[in-house]
């Protein structure tokens, strides 16, 4: 697709991978809206990028309806939805906290569904659209302590395949992106140490891959791809 003047909505766009994708879209000439739960950092990023700030929680149905409506009111249409908002929680099976487990699924799974559900009718009506779900290599292979996080990403993969089967006939491309470890604030928020290394991925690599996939002519698309660091060790 041609990204200049495209209208793109990126959830979780105030930092990390979401911010990198939003910045890359703006650099290509797209008009971009970003969502986030924390109003101050969201507005700061929006001001920095020249994007539309849409404060809201993707796990809250009313917020989703409001933010999508506000985006459409200003932009007139939506060409790209990037479901990037996500949270993490890691614990052994025997120690899983039900509240935290449910909160994670509410954002990573239900939130992605609500955003996609709200945007899908517009894609169908205009017979075009690009729906990108940012998952993780944790959604390809589970690991110890990752029941909640990996489970949510496996669920996202399954939903992506269902949406692709439904929407292809409407000329909508549904893609799944699986980043491996990326140096962001994600780990720090969970109290986990992340070793800084020039060999590890940054959000920019994920953004570059997403832009490359979007720029493919609309007669074809990349259903799913993973992005790994060449040698992170």
For 27-58, write each residue's pLDDT tens digit.
Answer: 999 999 999 999 999 999 999 999 999 999 99
How confident is the model at residue 190, as a pLDDT?
Answer: 61
How confident is the model at residue 189, as a pLDDT?
Answer: 62
Residues of the chain with pLDDT under 70: 186-194
> For the sheet containing 7-10, what is the strand order?
52-55, 31-36, 7-10, 80-83, 129-134, 172-179, 224-227
Query: Rounded to an integer, what distance in angstroms lies between the CA atom of residue 54 and that of residue 65?
Result: 11
How many helices (H) and strands (E) in the chain?
Answer: 8, 7
Which tokens go with 119? Answer: 């945007």
The reply to whether 149 belongs to the active site is yes
Which H/E stretch holds residue 118? helix 112-126
Are 28 and 5 within 8 A, CB to CB?
Answer: no
How confident is the model at residue 55, as a pLDDT?
Answer: 98
How confident is the model at residue 106, as a pLDDT?
Answer: 98
Query: What domains does the chain contain, in order, with CATH numbers?
Result: 7-227 (3.40.50.720)
The three-class DSSP label of residue 186 is: helix
Are 177 and 225 within 8 A, CB to CB?
Answer: yes
Task: Say how far residue 14 (Cα) sits from the centre of its chain.
Answer: 12
How confident is the model at residue 125, as a pLDDT?
Answer: 98
The three-class DSSP label of residue 210 is: helix
DSSP characters over 127-177: T-EEEEEE--GGGTS--TTBHHHHHHHHHHHHHHHHHHHHHGGGTEEEEEE
How confident is the model at residue 186, as a pLDDT?
Answer: 65
Are 87 and 37 within 8 A, CB to CB?
Answer: no
89, 90, 105, 149: the active-site residue:
149
Name the DSSP class of 220: -
How confident is the model at residue 233, as a pLDDT?
Answer: 83
In sequence order, the 6+-apart residues with CB closer than 8 A to the CB of 114 are 58, 59, 61, 64
């Amino acid at each position: 697709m041609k990204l200049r003047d495209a209208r793109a909505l990126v959830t979780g766009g105030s930092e990390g991978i979401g911010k990198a994708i939003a910045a890359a879209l703006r650099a290509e000439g797209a008009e971009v809206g970003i969502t986030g739960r924390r109003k101050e950092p969201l507005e700061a990023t929006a001001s920095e990028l020249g994007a539309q700030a849409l404060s809201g929680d993707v796990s809250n149905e009313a917020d989703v309806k409001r933010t999508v409506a506000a985006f459409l009111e200003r932009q007139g249409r939506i060409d790209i939805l990037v479901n990037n908002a996500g949270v993490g929680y890691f614990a052994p099976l025997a120690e899983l906290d039900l509240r935290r487990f449910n909160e994670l699924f509410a954002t990573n799974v239900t939130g992605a569904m609500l955003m996609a559900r709200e945007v899908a009718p517009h894609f169908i009506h205009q017979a075009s659209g690009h729906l990108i779900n940012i998952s993780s290599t944790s959604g390809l292979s589970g690991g110890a302590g990752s029941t909640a996080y990996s489970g949510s990403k496996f669920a996202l993969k399954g939903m992506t395949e269902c949406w692709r089967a439904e929407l292809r006939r409407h000329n909508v491309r549904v893609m799944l992106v699986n980043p491996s470890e990326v140096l962001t604030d994600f780990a720090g928020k969970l109290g986990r140490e992340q070793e800084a290394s020039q060999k590890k991925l940054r959000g920019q690599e994920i953004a570059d891959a997403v832009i490359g996939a979007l720029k493919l002519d609309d007669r074809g698309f990349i259903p799913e791809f993973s992005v790994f660091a060449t040698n992170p060790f």
